[in-house]
Structure 1
Amino acid sequence: TLALKLHGQTKLPFGDIELDFKGPFRRVPMPDAVKEATGIDFRAIATDEEARAAAKAAGFEIEDDWTWGECLAFIFEEKVEDTLIQPAHVTHFPKDISPFAKEVPGEPRLVERFETYVNGWELGNAFSELNDPVEQRRRMVEQLEQSHARGETEKRLDEDFLNAMDHGMPPAGGLGIGIDRLIMLLTNGPSIRDVILFPARRHKD
């Protein structure tokens, strides 16, 4: 819509490439994108240990305590993100890195979350908000235990948040959009300094 309003067409130049904002954008689940790029089928991998082994066998430097989802997300960032030049929605994020999103029905390791990419940049992050207080507490306790095992002992449970959820939270969804990056793409602006509303400036000496 913005491309049409500003330029009268959906094909826009950005540097040396042409972007086409005509919908619908491509939609691809993260495990499928990683499989397409690397051949690693994370849906066929059952455990954290197997995920780490598969990643290391493919040449990735993986920490010895990373989970299935952390391995999936890391390989996505390493091998897929930069290739998403034309607009695309990446869906089905791992629950391990998305503790506040609802599960995908039938796929308990994945959640209803998507990020939108253009020119290899993340432009938006959205998900269905988890509103089950019992499940939310379970996930947060699990994350806290993992953090403490990694030596991050200063982290604590957010009891105020959990207490508020115990009192009831309606179904909800969240969406964040990278306005600065979006403006750069729509205006063929190579630098974020050209579009940011309140740029940071150095003090005069």
Structure 2
Amino acid sequence: MTRTSRSKPIAKPQRSKIFEMVAIGCSAGGLDALRTILKALPADFSLPVIVVAHTPPDNSYLLPSLLGAVCKLPVSEAREREPALTGHVYVAPPNYHLLIEQHRHFALSVDDRVCYVRPAIDVLFAAAADVYGEFLAGVVLTGANSDGAEGIKAIKRRGGLTLVQDPKEAYADTMPQAAIDTGAVDQVLPLAALAERICGLSSNRPKL
């Protein structure tokens, strides 16, 4: 009796996920961290990048120009009803929560402070997770409170990617550690590796 050999099915290569937005949150020490990441983004980076930074209201308006000085992409303050365009960096305006609506336009809110701040990272992350789902990447950088932890959990529940700066090298480790403590973080990376990882999310860059 001869045995017929059964060939194993050939595994199909998995397709890399195409991301549609990067949302970044930071607080104390965040300017230097943001500058490192945004400086690394190539001119052909194909995603919108949304930034919520805890900065004093009287100098928040300087953030777009400070970041724009090192970034190859246009950087501007997000405005009400403005669409989130690809290849553009948007910064939350002072004293307003920044949200994304279903048609992928910005909305501003003066609702109560979250984690004692407005704009709050949690608010942006939760709203963006509802709109972009698994195609959203959320990034928590240095900071001195727990803002962003609840937002990280919201992104993870919707299947998105969650990235956090290594607390050991952060200017203030409270915020990244709070995110890590949720158990919903996919990767914890030093800043240089984090910048490289974000670059790889763009559809016209190698997927890392």
TM-score by length of 2: 0.22
Structure 1 or 2, whichever has the larger Rg, is 1
Higher RCO (C-alpha under 8 Å, 6+ residues apart): 2
More helix by share: 1
